[in-house]
Structure 1
Amino acid sequence: MRIPILKLKDYLLVSIQVELDDQTVLTFQEDLLDKIKATSAKGVVIDLTSVDMVDSFIAKVLGDVIVMTSLMGTKSVVTGIQPAVAITLIELGITLDNVHTALDLEQGISILSQLLEV
């Protein structure tokens, strides 16, 4: 299953609405990086509102995706992190240093717009 990646202005919007498994998250990682390259996107909003839990592998890959987007020169905002996901990330030692977060997609788009204005 593929996670849709939408282009809006100079950035990409990703709302993960499916249950994540190892293959889906790896496909998402590749698709997102390819889409950044193809569109020259300056920013990405990744909405995790529908993600209730993650295992250690999925948490690591999501953390890696954020770092990879930064390496490609793209600003990222992660939105909608659920309490169980936040707890899992911290327990696994995955800190999203220098990652902008927001409670919901609307705030995430606002933060990304401000980051891209600078």
Structure 2
Amino acid sequence: MSTPGGVPILRLGDVLVTGVLNELDDKSAVAFADELTARIVSDSANGVLIDISRLEIIDSFVARMLMELTTMARLLGARVIVAGMRPAVAITLVELGLRLTGVETALNAEQGLVALGWQRMPQRPGEAPHDSLR
């Protein structure tokens, strides 16, 4: 399911998985925040993973949006992890003096899901490796 701004929000058990792209303007950011918070409530989500690995640049607007989304989700009882930050994005945040206060991060989406309680399914003997998550 996608938000009105076109950002997909997927449900994996009690975790919602979504992402942020560079093209997020004010209007689509508000629609995204509205949809995400509504989905946290309607899906009884305990966790939210926001993948920003496709985000090549960051500005104060996107940084503020991530902090606000995290705060809103926490108020609704969901833990948020922002995953996949590129080194250039981290450097830009530091250079601009922007702090993602209260935002928990993970190196990639898989580590973020593990932090939210997901585990890689154990491989059975003789079975080909796979990337399924439980």
TM-score (norm 2): 0.74
Q: Is the 8 A contact 1:19 1:51 kept in 2?
A: no
| Deviation, structure 1 residue 20 | 2.1
What SS does the aligned partner of 2:34 have? helix
Q: Give a deviation string over 1:30-83, Cα, whole Å, max 9, x none.
A: 110011011110110110000111222222111111111111110111100122
What SS does the aligned partner of 2:116 have? helix
Equivalences, count: 113
Which runs of 4 or more aligned residues in structure 1 lie more than 4 Å from their structure 2 counterparts after TM superposition?
A: none
The equivalent position to 2:107 in structure 1, one of 98, 103, 108, is 103
The alignment's C-alpha RMSD in Å is 1.8
Structure 1: tracts of 5 or more residues without a match: none
* Identity across matched positions, percent: 39
- Relative contact order, CA 8 A, sep 6+: which one is greater? 1
Structure 2: tracts of 5 or more residues without a match: 119-134
The equivalent position to 1:93 in structure 2, one of 93, 98, 110, is 98
Considering fraction of residues, name the structure with more helix: 1
TM-score (norm 1): 0.83
- The structure with more radius of gyration: 2
Q: Is the 8 A contact 1:2 1:27 kept in 2?
A: no
